[in-house]
Amino acid sequence: MVKLIPDYIHRDIKSSAERKIFESISSSRLGNITCLHSLALARHQRKRIAELDFVLVDEESIICLEIKGGQVKRENGVWTFRNRYGEITSNSQGPFRQVSDSMFALLNDLKIKFGNELNNCLFGFGVMFPDIVFEQESPEWDKRIIYDAKDIKNDISDYIARLKEYWREKSRKHGTLKNIEDVIGYIRGDFEIPVPLWKKVEDTEDEITNYTTEQYYALDHMSENKRVIFQGAAGTGKTMLAVEKARRNYHMGIKTLLLCFNKLLGIKLKSEIEKIDAEGKLITVNSISKYFYEEIAKSNFTSELSNLMKLNLPKEEIFGLHYPELFQKAVKKRNAPFYDCLILDEAQDILSVNYFNALECILKNGLSDGNWLFFMDSERQNIYGRFDNKVLNKLSDYNTAIYNLNLNCRNTREIAVQASILSGFRNESIKRIQGDKVQFQWYKDKKEETSMLQKLLHQLIVTEKIPASDITILSSTPFSELQIVRDNIYLPCILAELTEENITNHIENAVFVCTIPVYKGLENKITILLDIDNLKNERSRALIYIGMTRCKSLLFLFLKEDQKEQYFENVNQYLKLVELRDYEGLCSDKK
């Protein structure tokens, strides 16, 4: 039985002659033989790339065939071939010299690879003119190696037998090719080379960058509105737009205050804005608690704050009530200057009555008539319970425009879908970036989770060559209490807690570890989310959603095995809510 590699003739092959020979070989009585079609040769003496139309390999021989279809002509030493489309090609070498040189190039290559093992193997070549009767004689060729239109009525095996007999007489070789599979495997073996993980991450990053610029249109659409609330799920570019608005304000000479809730995000934003306004003349950036504290300190109210701290009051009372009250007193005492524009990121964590009153004090014309932009996700990321709907209603009365961000320009489609499944939150933002599946790591206990994490970090950093800085580990467990930290297990990287001191400093070969609430508002290319052991609790689901959506390219989820049933229940609920035609393949686990 003839084995053809490939077992089809590509549509780009225009030559009807090649198609005829392909069909003749495939239906022939050649027996146990392998036919390689369109074999390119990289190491040819005179050509950068040469090609053999067909190579036949069996246990006794390697036969190379050159096919020339259509009209054939030689004039003044130049060969001319005209195909059925009237296209003409010419060369001075001719088909006999062409196939001879290519055969010897193949022979030399195989001898380098297999050495003396090929000494007794029969090598030969033939030239086939299936469209014409070729009766020309010349010392350059022997008619016995020619196939033409007269041979079509016979099985092609007759011609191959004739070729073998001719070359056996010429070379006097009668050996066998013992390692035939190795030879075929070398010439055209099967292989699969996957795209490296780092390249997939890089490509996804490039695609995200392209989509990110589209979100700037949101600011353009709202540029005529003095007061705008931008609503959007995680990944819709809220923080990016807040920074872009501050940048635009800087170039227009508008004094701007940019605040967020998360301390680490505040430091990150400050480093971004320093690239725009290095001296901080027009833009002030901070987390809201640090901003309040610095203003309180400027007016010497820190002693009052210290006295409150000594009372061991709940943190929520200190930061949610006393900070904004002391801030208002401090601003009035020193008659602090107003800002022309207020920008709030993570506004769902800031819009309480007390914060509302405090911010009223430092914005020109106040919140009712001033210039402000608030970026928020009150439905999915309100993990502190500080958001007050009454404040939002009051802001809406100030002739406020609402803009819904619906393009996810951070997460891949796979991450966004799985975030919706595990959290139960509907995410209606457009998901266009295709990426790798979310990888599920099901663990029985902390010890197994630690072992699996160790193997994963080794795979990513050592095997896949992913830079440690591209990976972030998130957990609801504090850094010092993580099992892998406490057990001091050998790792191919340093595990470092992400802090206010190191968030803007690169630590060589370090993977940063952080709790989910502290990391809110930040992002990285690869995220490993640990300790998912509750898919029912509302706060747990909110944290899972936030943790998953911090990831831009590749997400690994460590879920406790007893959550498997709940996960698949969530999948079913999700499919009822969302019409997702091409869901197949998005989930890495199926029940």
Q: Write down the pLDDT at residue 192.
A: 58
* Interatomic CA distance for residues 481 and 513, integer angstroms: 12
Strand-strand pairing, 371-376 and 227-232:
parallel
Identify the three-state secondary structure at position 48: coil
Q: Write down the pLDDT at residue 63.
A: 92
Q: Write down the pLDDT at residue 48.
A: 41
- Residues 103, 109, 113, CA angle at the centre, nearest 5°? 140
Q: Which fold has domain 413-577?
A: Rossmann fold (3.40.50)
Q: Which two tokens stand for residue 21?
A: 């020979």
Q: What is the mean pLDDT of each run of 10 residues along the chain (591 residues)?
A: 81 76 90 85 49 88 91 91 83 90 88 81 92 91 94 94 92 75 78 68 75 78 91 87 94 95 92 91 93 88 80 79 88 84 92 88 92 87 70 88 86 88 74 82 94 95 94 93 86 93 89 93 94 89 90 94 93 75 47 41
DSSP state letter for 347: G
User: Is it true that 216-405 and 413-577 share their CATH fold?
Assistant: yes
Q: Write down the pLDDT at residue 45.
A: 47
319-343 per-position pLDDT tens digit? 888 888 999 988 888 787 799 999 9
Residue spans of beta strands (DSSP E) within 266-383:
283-287, 341-344, 371-376
* Interatomic CA distance for residues 111 and 420, integer angstroms: 59
Is-contact 7 34, C-beta < 8 A?
no
**Run of H or E residues at 91:** strand 88-91
Is-contact 375 238, C-beta < 8 A?
yes
Domain at 216-405, CATH class? alpha beta
DSSP state letter for 215: T
Exposed, middle or buried: residue 455 (CB in 10 Å: 0-12, 13-18, 19+)? exposed
- Residues 479, 485, 491, CA angle at the centre, nearest 5°? 125
* Interatomic CA distance for residues 63 and 100, integer angstroms: 11
Identify the three-state secondary structure at position 285: strand
* Interatomic CA distance for residues 150 and 413, integer angstroms: 61
Is the dihedral angle over the CA atoms 397, 400, 406, 407 positive or is it negative? negative
* Size of the chain, expressed as the number of residues it contains: 591
Q: Write down the pLDDT at residue 578.
A: 65
**Block residue for tokens 């007489």:** 169
Which ranges of 71-174 would DSSP assign to H, the alpha helix?
A: 94-114, 156-171
189-234 per-position pLDDT tens digit? 655 566 677 777 877 777 777 666 677 888 888 888 999 999 988 8
* Interatomic CA distance for residues 577 and 247, integer angstroms: 40
Q: Write down the pLDDT at residue 313.
A: 80
Any idea where the domains of the chain sit in the sequence? 2-188, 216-405, 413-577
